[in-house]
Structure 1
Amino acid sequence: MPPTSARADAQRARVLAASVEIFGTRGYRATSMNEIAAGVGLSKPTLYHYFRNKEELLVRIYSDVLDESLRMAQETVDAAATPFDGLHDLLVSRVVHTCENRELLKICFEEEDELRPDLSEELIVRRRLFEDVAVSALRRHLDEHPEVRLAMAPKVFVNMCLGAVNWTYKWYRPTGPRTAAELGREMADALLAVLVPPA
């Protein structure tokens, strides 16, 4: 009896979760489909019913992360009282998300070269949609405060900020003195200080 849609979706979610754990531990290239099947308690033929190969798994992981990131970014910016608050809240949320999903983000940041160029380009386009949410908020802030001067283009500034907050997956420790939210607020305050209009 073939799995129902709900059962199939639940099984795919289990496979993806196991893949994230195994890719994060062993690396994408060193992981086999046999290991993933064993990790989720499926036979290899059954696993191929849900995902045809490792690359499809990796693409799905990237796609899910990008979709969720874009949704969170748009909701965060839309809910903020001002464009500055939206950009600030967005950076805080990225720190929290990155610190709470370090294994997942490690794969996204370190395994991208394993994708075929055509698939990689598609994901880059989707990543730019996320960046555009932040760039749009920044430009609205600058339009409202012409007295604020940036020493670089808005897109460069946004990518500098995103690079800083994304890198927390490398060094954040949950046992440290700050929660992810506290760290996020400190980082956002520091990165965006140059955008605060002079008194």
Structure 2
Amino acid sequence: MTDVVLTRADQQRERVLSLSAEIFSRRGFRATSMNEIAAAVGLSKPTLYHYFRSKEELLVRIYSDVLDESRVLAEEVVAQAPTAFAAIRELISSRVAYTCRHQELLKVCFEEEHELPADLAEHLLMRRHAFEDLFLSALNRHLDEHPEIAIGMTPRVYVNMCLGAVNWTYKWFRASGPATPEQLGEQMAASLTASLEPA
């Protein structure tokens, strides 16, 4: 990917987003005030409003950025994988690693989803399906190439099962544990795709 040079204003916005996600994760969206965010960032409240007009706008941007980054990473995985099976393994593995390395962000996205403005929520949730659709497409290709493989459920249910296990890691992963995010990703990918191994 091409490196993007951020302006000072862009850097400040990213800092506001990062600290806001941290506070939302710790205190919850409703319990957090713009005053608290401004104090954490070291900005006056009027200056903070120059960057983001409301808590809702901050939440939408956090959610949108995670969706976009997840989609781009998934597209890169699928494009670079030599086989559909390899794509499935890497989609799971990289998603686990991403989730473990961004626990606060994912906690906000999963636990504060109901706080998204109603007029934007449906559009954002549709964008979330982009990752799922890439996974499903790779799975369907793999099953078409290997008709002897039976997974015992519909491909969509299999995808939802895998993503349920993967996404839940934000709840229980500990950096002090025995595995790094990447190692855990590889372990979970191997277990979840055991039934997909070509003969």
TM-score interval w.r.t. the shorter chain? over 0.9
Counterpart for residue 115 of structure 1:
116
- 1:123-171 per-residue CA deviation (whole Å, 9 max, x = no partner) reads 1110111111101100100110011112222122111101101101111
Quote the offset at 1:121 in angstroms: 0.7
Counterpart for residue 105 of structure 1:
106
Matched residues, number: 194
Counterpart for residue 73 of structure 1:
74
Q: Structure 1 length normalisation: TM-score?
A: 0.94
Range that drifts further, 15-24 or 116-125: 116-125
Counterpart for residue 47 of structure 1:
48
Superposed CA RMSD? 1.1
Secondary structure of the corresponding residue to residue 7 of structure 2: helix
- 1:30-71 per-residue CA deviation (whole Å, 9 max, x = no partner) reads 000000011111111111111110000000000000000000
Name segments (4+ residues, structure 1) moved above 2 Å. Answer: none
1:12-27 counterparts in 2 under 5 A?
12-27=13-28
Counterpart for residue 162 of structure 1:
163
Q: Identity of paired residues, percent?
A: 65
Quote the offset at 1:90 in angstroms: 0.8
Counterpart for residue 36 of structure 1:
37
- Please give the alpha-carbon distance, in whole angstroms, between the structure 2 residues aligned to 1:47 and 1:144: 53
Counterpart for residue 193 of structure 2:
192
Paired amino acid for 1:108: C
Query: Which residues of structure 1 form unaligned runs of 5+?
Result: none
- Please give the alpha-carbon distance, in whole angstroms, between the structure 2 residues aligned to 1:155 and 1:169: 22
Secondary structure of the corresponding residue to residue 150 of structure 1: coil
- Please give the alpha-carbon distance, in whole angstroms, between the structure 2 residues aligned to 1:187 and 1:130: 18
Quote the offset at 1:195 in angstroms: 1.1
Query: Which residues of structure 2 form unaligned runs of 5+?
Result: 1-5
